[in-house]
């Protein structure tokens, strides 16, 4: 959430502005609004004090002084901002009424943050409310970064922000601290606390922490239909009055309750809702005594209580929250607060013979238990427990693994069998379009660029879209049903053997889709060493970008065992991930075991809408790459292959072709074959002497021991940007005869027909089965794409990012070398 607004503290002396919003907490907010600092009112900066703080302002005909820290909590709009953002034509004069209206309109922008437990349906609700298409899954940690969207309803603009799912806002994991930081620093107008209606007691723990923060909250009671099915008697209106928070029942997958939620947001924002009030959860006489002691010291610093809820700060300090203590270091009475808090913690723990954090947690759950006893009555229980019976089979001691392995095999097999038909249709469409462009344009560099560079490069990638979508469909199905969490449960013991947590399995499986969100999903792991170790082995998971390379090579060289070969290459990645994790665990990540604690969400019936939305959203990202990285790479590769144009050939190909054409003694079939061979030789020599050929030959000494020719070397180099570009490069290097952009079948034939043009292997097939396996293994393991390196840098640091680049490339070379050289002794 970027801060895009101007604040009163930024206005220079003499400047006049209009108030759009007042932020801050408690007494400050009340005092400042009573003094007339409300939406639409004009404020003039009169002068600064000699030491630049406080500042004198004029409002409603009288003067008042505010400190910079207080003025920083008042959002304003200036004449300059109005001119810049107004749709009206500026004629040199802005009257006061227009500025006032601008402030009021700007004040109708409501910043809303969605906060909730994992599996509460928060992101589904965000998608339905905003029309966005974020990933939705039935397991912990789908939302691993901030998602934003704008929605307009009833003359109001809502800025919706979907924060990572979290069980609390303590400091156990990065996403908990991340959510807390977003709330404290960006000060949203209202928080939508998405609560899973089928698991109220656990979900309301987060609600109690939001109450402590003294911010406006609305509860979206999601999955309300599950309560109705159980015939539960729940007086949510009474609970809302008890909490001072309005509660709106929602069924996010069906879009029910969304309009009511927006209406309630407006009422709460405009202070029209009778339920909204700030309550203090009574934690008991002893705890309250020590909260007040810490609060008394906090009140000595107005700067703290203007920015934070003093009660929230006191409770966090009583819980020995180190992050909160760190945040207070900037304030002048920090040492006094720290001393008083330490004394309070010591006395509390001594009096109750328990850790202070546990004492507060027990008190919160005690409050929740009491509130639910007054408002909640269990309905009829399902004696058959049908959903639990699924676990008896899917996580069975003996059947669990075979079922999981079968599901993974079926996913890869379906990728080929189901994807083959739409692949052929797309392939034919690309070929038809290419032929039309070639027939419509005169011969020259532009036509060559369009046909062989852009259409040839991108066409060779878009044909694999059906395979990508099928892969994402299966992964989405695992997420939506809740089976992904069961897979983690099944795999925990094996993960534990290699030094990882069972929860690491989720980011690893996500890596089959894309390594970047998989690396971001490691935030759900509480232990830092677990996070980094998981990041380092995620690149071994074959992402969808590598899939086109596998599909191309396997279908060309191994047509009879496609599903088996694809399954094998994926399993090889998993195998090396395990080996690497074992080595790194011994060398760099020796640590104490972390207990396996992970929610197993209830099984849920996936909706076609959500599964399709997830599948298409990731497919759209794949297509977006074609319009950016792959397009640029294709044009660059084409240019490097097309230039220089003044090549000195070893023989006069055109002369020999003309002689053959005029030869009347040869049969037409034989003549045609000889001409085709000459044309291919000419194109091959042109490519070899082009800039890209020179680059390929420069790295040939490094890749020759792996069985690769210079064209394969160039493809690998271009794949550093994005792995899809490997196929695009091969499309440009192997496809073109200079006349047409051939379809994928032709590219497969080119690969099969490719021969070494020089050296001891001259005349032998380049893509032998052994070289093909070596090449696929290299693509599997070497340097992850630039986006993955950037993600590792963001989540860890540059050191680990550089280490990933180096160790994966060295390992890829060693493995391909071993496969080719040892295999050559037997094959």
Instruction: Supply the pLDDT for residue 806.
Output: 92
pLDDT above 90 as % of the chain: 12
Instruction: Supply the pLDDT for residue 393.
Output: 76
Instruction: Supply the pLDDT for residue 136.
Output: 47
**Cis preceding linkage at 644, omega within 30:** yes
What confidence category does residue 132 fall into, taking pLDDT thresholds of 50, 70 and 90? low
Q: In what order do the strands lie in the sheet with 217-222?
A: 147-153, 156-162, 109-116, 190-196, 217-222, 247-249
Using the predicted structure, report yes or no on whether residue 707 has a pLDDT greater than 80.
Answer: yes
- Nearest Cα neighbor of 393 from 385, 403, 383 is 403
Average pLDDT rounded to a whole number, residues 143-161: 80
Q: What are phi and psi of 78, to 5 degrees?
A: -105, 170
The CA–CA distances, whole Å, from 78 to 9, 86, 98, 248, 312 equal 13, 12, 11, 37, 34
The H-or-E segment that residue 531 falls in is: helix 528-537
Using the predicted structure, report yes or no on whether residue 618 has a pLDDT greater than 80.
Answer: no
Using the predicted structure, report yes or no on whether residue 754 has a pLDDT greater than 70.
Answer: yes
CB-based contact 614:485 (threshold 8 Å): no
Average pLDDT rounded to a whole number, residues 243-250: 92
The H-or-E segment that residue 32 falls in is: helix 26-34
Using the predicted structure, report yes or no on whether residue 736 has a pLDDT greater than 50.
Answer: no
Using the predicted structure, report yes or no on whether residue 715 has a pLDDT greater than 50.
Answer: yes
Residues 6+ apart with CB under 8 A from 403: 393, 394, 396
Using the predicted structure, report yes or no on whether residue 778 has a pLDDT greater than 90.
Answer: yes
What confidence category does residue 622 fall into, taking pLDDT thresholds of 50, 70 and 90? low
Q: CA 630 to CA 718: how far, in whole Å?
A: 10
CB-based contact 157:149 (threshold 8 Å): no
Average pLDDT rounded to a whole number, residues 411-433: 78
Residues 6+ apart with CB under 8 A from 62: none
Residue with tokens 């919160």: 364
Q: Is the pLDDT higher at 73 or at 728?
A: 73
The alpha-helical segments, DSSP class H, found in 244-284 are: 258-269
Instruction: Supply the pLDDT for residue 87.
Output: 46
Average pLDDT rounded to a whole number, residues 613-620: 71
Using the predicted structure, report yes or no on whether residue 810 has a pLDDT greater than 90.
Answer: yes
Determine the number of helices (DSSP H) and then strands (DSSP E) in the chain.
Answer: 40, 14
CA angle 719, 720, 725 (to 5 degrees): 25
Using the predicted structure, report yes or no on whether residue 660 has a pLDDT greater than 70.
Answer: yes
Determine the 3-state secondary structure of 110 from DSSP.
Answer: strand
Q: Is the pLDDT higher at 55 or at 606?
A: 55
Give the lowest-confidence range in 188-192, 323-327, 459-463, 725-729.
Answer: 459-463
Taken in order 575, 507, 465, 747, the sign of the CA dihedral is negative
Give the lowest-confidence range in 91-105, 526-540, 543-557, 636-650.
Answer: 91-105
Using the predicted structure, report yes or no on whether residue 85 has a pLDDT greater than 60.
Answer: no
Instruction: Supply the pLDDT for residue 304.
Output: 81
Determine the 3-state secondary structure of 84 from DSSP.
Answer: helix
Q: Is the pLDDT higher at 26 or at 179?
A: 179
Strand ranges, E, within 741-819 = none
Average pLDDT rounded to a whole number, residues 535-546: 86
The alpha-helical segments, DSSP class H, found in 626-723 are: 631-642, 653-662, 668-689, 691-698, 700-703, 710-718
Using the predicted structure, report yes or no on whether residue 457 has a pLDDT greater than 70.
Answer: no
Give the lowest-confidence range in 91-105, 312-326, 378-392, 526-540.
Answer: 91-105
- Nearest Cα neighbor of 33 from 67, 70, 68 is 70
Residues 6+ apart with CB under 8 A from 301: 331, 332, 333, 337
Using the predicted structure, report yes or no on whether residue 716 has a pLDDT greater than 80.
Answer: yes
The CA–CA distances, whole Å, from 530 to 294, 505, 577 equal 36, 11, 14
Per 3-state DSSP, what percentage of the chain is helix, strand, and coil (rounded to 5)? 60, 10, 30
Instruction: Supply the pLDDT for residue 220.
Output: 93
Q: Is the pLDDT higher at 660 or at 683?
A: 660
Q: Which residues pair with 151 in a beta bridge?
A: 158
Cα 763 vs. chain centroid, distance in angstroms? 48
pLDDT tens profile 174-210: 778 888 888 888 888 899 999 988 888 889 989 999 9
- Nearest Cα neighbor of 515 from 506, 523, 507, 524 is 507
Residues 6+ apart with CB under 8 A from 6: 17, 75, 76, 77, 78, 81
pLDDT above 70 as % of the chain: 81
Q: CA 447 to CA 437: how far, in whole Å?
A: 8
- Nearest Cα neighbor of 218 from 146, 152, 140, 129 is 129
Using the predicted structure, report yes or no on whether residue 391 has a pLDDT greater than 60.
Answer: yes
Give the lowest-confidence range in 443-457, 459-473, 635-649, 687-701.
Answer: 459-473
CB-based contact 519:788 (threshold 8 Å): yes
Instruction: Supply the pLDDT for residue 596.
Output: 47
pLDDT tens profile 274-323: 898 888 888 888 899 999 999 989 888 877 877 788 889 999 999 888 88
What confidence category does residue 435 fall into, taking pLDDT thresholds of 50, 70 and 90? confident
Give the DSSP letter of residue 607: P
What confidence category does residue 819 fall into, taking pLDDT thresholds of 50, 70 and 90? very high
What confidence category does residue 93 fall into, taking pLDDT thresholds of 50, 70 and 90? very low
Q: CA 52 to CA 46: how far, in whole Å?
A: 12
Instruction: Supply the pLDDT for residue 248.
Output: 92
Range among 54-63, 388-397, 445-454, 768-777 rated most confident:
768-777
Cα 639 vs. chain centroid, distance in angstroms? 34
Question: What is the average pLDDT value for the chain, to the nearest integer?
Answer: 79
Using the predicted structure, report yes or no on whether residue 526 has a pLDDT greater than 70.
Answer: no
Average pLDDT rounded to a whole number, residues 246-271: 88
Using the predicted structure, report yes or no on whether residue 577 has a pLDDT greater than 90.
Answer: no
Give the lowest-confidence range in 42-51, 242-251, 253-262, 706-715.
Answer: 42-51
Q: Which residues pair with 157 in a beta bridge?
A: 109, 152
Q: CA 450 to CA 207: how far, in whole Å?
A: 57
The CA–CA distances, whole Å, from 237 to 234, 240, 376 equal 9, 5, 11
């Amino acid at each position: 959430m970027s801060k895009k607004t101007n604040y009163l503290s930024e206005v220079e002396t003499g400047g006049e502005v209009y108030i759009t919003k007042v932020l801050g907490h408690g007494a400050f907010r009340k005092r400042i609004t009573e003094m007339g600092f409300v939406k639409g009112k004009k404020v003039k900066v009169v002068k600064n004090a000699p030491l630049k703080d406080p500042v004198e302002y004029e409002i409603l005909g009288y003067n008042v002084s505010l400190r910079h820290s207080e003025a920083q909590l008042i959002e304003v709009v200036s004449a300059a901002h109005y001119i810049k953002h107004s749709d009206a034509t500026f004629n040199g004069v802005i009257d006061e009424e227009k500025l006032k209206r601008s402030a009021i309109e700007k004040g109708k922008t409501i910043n809303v943050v969605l906060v909730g437990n994992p599996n509460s349906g928060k992101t589904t609700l965000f998608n339905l409310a905003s029309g966005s298409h974020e990933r939705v899954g039935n397991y912990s940690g789908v939302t691993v970064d901030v998602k934003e969207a704008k929605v307009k309803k009833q003359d109001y603009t809502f800025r919706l922000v979907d924060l990572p799912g979290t069980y609390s806002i303590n400091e156990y994991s990065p996403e908990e601290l991340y959510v807390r930081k977003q709330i404290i620093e960006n000060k949203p107008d209202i928080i939508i606390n998405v609560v899973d209606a089928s698991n109220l007691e656990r979900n309301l723990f987060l609600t109690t922490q939001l109450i402590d923060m003294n911010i406006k909250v609305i509860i979206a009671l999601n999955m309300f239909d599950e309560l109705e099915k159980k015939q539960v008697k729940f007086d949510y209106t009474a609970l809302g009055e008890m909490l001072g928070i309005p509660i709106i029942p929602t069924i996010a997958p069906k879009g029910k309750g969304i309009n009511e939620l927006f209406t309630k947001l407006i009422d709460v924002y405009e202070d029209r809702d009778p339920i909204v009030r700030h309550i203090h959860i009574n934690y008991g006489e002893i705890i309250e005594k020590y909260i007040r002691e810490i609060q008394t010291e906090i009140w000595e610093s107005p700067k703290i209580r203007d920015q934070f809820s003093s009660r929230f700060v006191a409770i966090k300090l009583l819980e020995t929250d180190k992050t909160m203590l760190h945040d207070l270091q900037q304030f002048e009475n920090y040492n006094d607060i720290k001393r008083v808090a330490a004394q309070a913690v010591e006395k509390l723990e001594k009096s109750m013979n328990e850790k202070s954090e546990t004492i507060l947690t027990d008190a919160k759950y005690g409050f929740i238990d009491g509130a639910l006893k007054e408002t909640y009555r269990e309905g009829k229980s399902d004696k058959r427990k049908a959903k639990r019976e699924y676990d008896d089979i899917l996580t069975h001691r003996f059947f669990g693994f075979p079922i999981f392995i079968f599901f993974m095999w079926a996913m890869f097999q379906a990728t080929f069998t189901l994807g083959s038909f739409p692949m052929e249709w797309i392939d034919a469409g690309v070929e038809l379009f290419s032929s039309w462009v070639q027939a419509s344009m005169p011969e020259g560099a532009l036509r060559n660029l369009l046909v062989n560079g852009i259409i040839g490069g991108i066409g060779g990638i878009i044909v694999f879209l059906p395979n990508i979508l099928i892969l994402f469909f299966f992964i989405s199905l695992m997420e939506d049903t809740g089976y992904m969490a069961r897979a983690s449960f099944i795999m925990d013991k094996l993960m534990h053997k290699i030094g990882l947590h069972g929860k690491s399995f989720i980011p690893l499986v996500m890596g089959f889709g894309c390594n970047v969100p998989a690396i971001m999903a490691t935030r759900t792991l509480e232990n830092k060493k677990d996070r980094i170790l998981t990041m380092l082995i995620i690149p071994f998971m074959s992402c969808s970008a590598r899939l086109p390379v596998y599909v191309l090579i396997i279908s060309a060289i191994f047509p009879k065992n496609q599903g088996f070969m694809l399954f094998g290459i994926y399993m090889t990645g998993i195998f090396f991930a395990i080996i690497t994790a074992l080595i790194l665990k011994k060398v760099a990540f020796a640590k104490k075991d972390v207990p396996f604690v992970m929610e197993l969400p209830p099984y849920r019936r996936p909706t076609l809408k959500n599964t399709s939305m997830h599948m298409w959203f990731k497919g759209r990202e794949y297509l977006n790459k074609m319009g950016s990285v792959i397009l640029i790479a294709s044009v660059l590769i084409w240019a490097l292959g097309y230039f220089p144009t003044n090549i000195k050939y070893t023989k006069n190909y055109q002369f020999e072709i003309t002689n053959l054409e005029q030869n009347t003694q040869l049969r037409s079939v034989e003549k045609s074959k000889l001409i085709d061979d000459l044309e291919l030789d000419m194109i091959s020599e042109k490519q070899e002497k082009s800039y890209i050929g020179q680059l390929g030959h420069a790295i040939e000494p490094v890749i020759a021991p792996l069985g690769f020719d210079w064209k394969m070397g160039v493809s690998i180099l271009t794949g550093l940007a994005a792995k899809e570009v490997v196929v695009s490069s091969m499309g440009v290097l192997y496809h073109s005869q200079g006349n047409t952009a051939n379809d994928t079948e032709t590219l497969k034939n080119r690969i099969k027909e490719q021969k070494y043009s020089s050296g001891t292997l001259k005349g032998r097939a380049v893509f032998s089965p052994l070289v093909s396996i070596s090449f696929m293994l290299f693509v599997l393991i070497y340097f992850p794409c630039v986006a993955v390196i950037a993600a590792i840098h963001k989540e860890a640091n540059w050191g680990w990012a550089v280490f990933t680049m180096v160790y994966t490339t060295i390992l890829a070379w060693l493995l391909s070398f071993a496969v080719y050289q040892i295999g050559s002794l037997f094959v």
